[in-house]
Amino acid sequence: MRVFRGVFAAGIYLCFHGIAAADVAKGIDTLEAGDVAGAVAEFQAAYAAGDADGAFYIGRLFEMGLGTEKDLGRATELYAAAVSKDSALAQNRLGLMYLNGETVLQDYERAAELICAAADQGDPNGQFNCGLMYAEGRGVTQEKPRAVSYWKEAAEARHVAAINYLGLAYQAGDGLEQDPVAAFEQFSATAAAGNPMGLFEVAKAYAGGVGVARDLVRAHGYANLAASRGMQEARVLRDALTQQMDEADLSQAQGFARDWAAVEIAQPE
């Protein structure tokens, strides 16, 4: 394995933090402390000791160009090595590479095989992505109820995208019975955490009185929050609502948005 050189790059915590086995966890801590070479040594030791995720994390360094030159080919090799030892993290990532044809032939069946193997091991990203494969019929027979089943599993692990897609499924009655109230509950969870899509969907629900009582003040407030996070559609909704509100309600809506604070998505009971 080549020697890694370079300085610590911002964003490592978001990319690598998670539940991990002993040496891999130490490698993540070392990486967050800015010692890339030391982290690689820990990941190598973890892989040698039988923890397949060690190779996955080194692959991520190559893929992202952290501490070394970016090398997708080498990353693919490392993911394949980790997959050979049943790393769910590597199964999902290599599966996505097959899905998109990155350094490997585009192959939907192989992508689905890998991604859904990660899902069946309980990996939330794998569960979300496997759900997408079944929802779209890529590499597998299209089965909307099965897609929803995987999203529900990922949602239990507080996977934001899965919660949102579950909300869309309830909203449209796609793969399960249509339920506007349940849809609103899903979007409310991600909105509370500051997710732009969740905020926008909650704003629409309040604006139309769908799944919740109509409330233009809250609709404007949530649309304002989503717009501030780059949602152009939310800006359009906010501005349309502004034209429908009197000065007092508009002041209240802006105060709501100003005083609002994000909270973590609650752990399912």
Q: Among 3-12, 32-41, 103-112, which range has the highest average pLDDT?
A: 103-112
Helices (DSSP H) in the chain: which residue ranges? 12-16, 22-32, 36-48, 53-64, 72-83, 88-100, 108-120, 124-136, 144-156, 160-172, 180-192, 196-208, 216-228, 232-242, 247-259
- Identity of the amino acid at 186: Q
User: What's the number of CA atoms in the CB half-sphere (13 Å) around residue 136?
Assistant: 13
- 146 close to 155: Cβ distance less than 8 angstroms: no
Kindly indicate whether the domain formed by 86-178 is annotated with CATH number 3.90.1010.10.
no
Give the tokens for residue 1: 């394995």
The Cα 220–Cα 246 span in angstroms is 12
Angle, CA of 175, 181 and 182, to the nearest 5°: 45
Residues 147-168: what's their mean pLDDT? Answer: 97
Please write the tens of the pLDDT for every residue from 51-100: 999 999 999 999 999 888 999 999 999 999 999 999 999 999 999 999 99
Look up the pTM and report it: 0.87
Whether residue 117 is predicted with pLDDT greater than 90 in this model: the reply is: yes
Per-domain boundaries in the chain? 1-85, 86-178, 195-263
| pLDDT value, residue 266 | 74
Q: String of b and e for 210-234 (b: at least 16 CB within 10 Å)?
A: ebbeeebbbbbbbbbbbbeeebeeb
Q: 12: how many CB neighbours lie within 10 A of its CB?
A: 21
Name the DSSP class of 157: T
Angle, CA of 66, 31 and 99, to the nearest 5°: 50
- Identity of the amino acid at 95: G
| pLDDT value, residue 67 | 85
Name the DSSP class of 41: H
- Identity of the amino acid at 227: A
Please write the tens of the pLDDT for every residue from 159-200: 999 999 999 999 999 999 999 999 999 999 999 999 999 999
